[in-house]
Amino acid sequence: GENVEQHPSTLSVQEGDSAVIKCTYSDSASNYFPWYKQELGKRPQLIIDIRSNVGEKKDQRIAVTLNKTAKHFSLHITETQPEDSAVYFCAASLNFNKFYFGSGTKLNVKP
């Protein structure tokens, strides 16, 4: 099955700085890569996603890049704010079937 690795496990940045979280996947057939934000005790919330036919996608302060050849994708958050503090998970999927999640990154944005 698919294996998704995510790093770093924790990331601390100053408010206003950028944050980058990276993931790699093992199954070259995977074609959908969502990113989720999860606050303590709550459900994961989709923040951005990318499909394998696109190399980059941006939504305001959030962007995701995908390198299919290297099988890695990254989440970029610019101008971080304290409310961005949460745990972020990447995932990989084939045709929106099973989602295989990375191990998570705890982002702490210091005011």
Partner 1 sequence: GAVVSQHPSWVICKSGTSVKIECRSLDFQATTMFWYRQFPKQSLMLMATSNEGSKATYEQGVEKDKFLINHASLTLSTLTVTSAHPEDSSFYICSARQTPEGLAGVTTQYFGPGTRLTVL
Q: Residues 29-68: x/- map of binding to partner 1 (CB under 8 A)?
A: ------------xxxxxx--x-------------------
Should residue 80 be labelled a site residue for partner 1 when binding is judged by CB under 8 A? no
Residue located via tokens 């790699």: 24
Is there a contact between 72 and 86 (Cβ–Cβ < 8 Å)?
A: no
CB-nearer residue toward partner 1: 52 or 78: 52
CB-nearer residue toward partner 1: 38 or 65: 38
- Residue from 58, 61, 98, 110 touching partner 1 (CB under 8 A): that is 98
What's the rounded Cα separation, in Å, for the pair 15 and 43?
Answer: 25
Is there a contact between 26 and 71 (Cβ–Cβ < 8 Å)?
A: yes
The torsion angle over the Cα atoms of residues 65, 93, 72 and 39, rounded to 10 degrees, is 70
Interaction site with partner 1 (CB under 8 A): 1, 41-46, 49, 89, 95-104
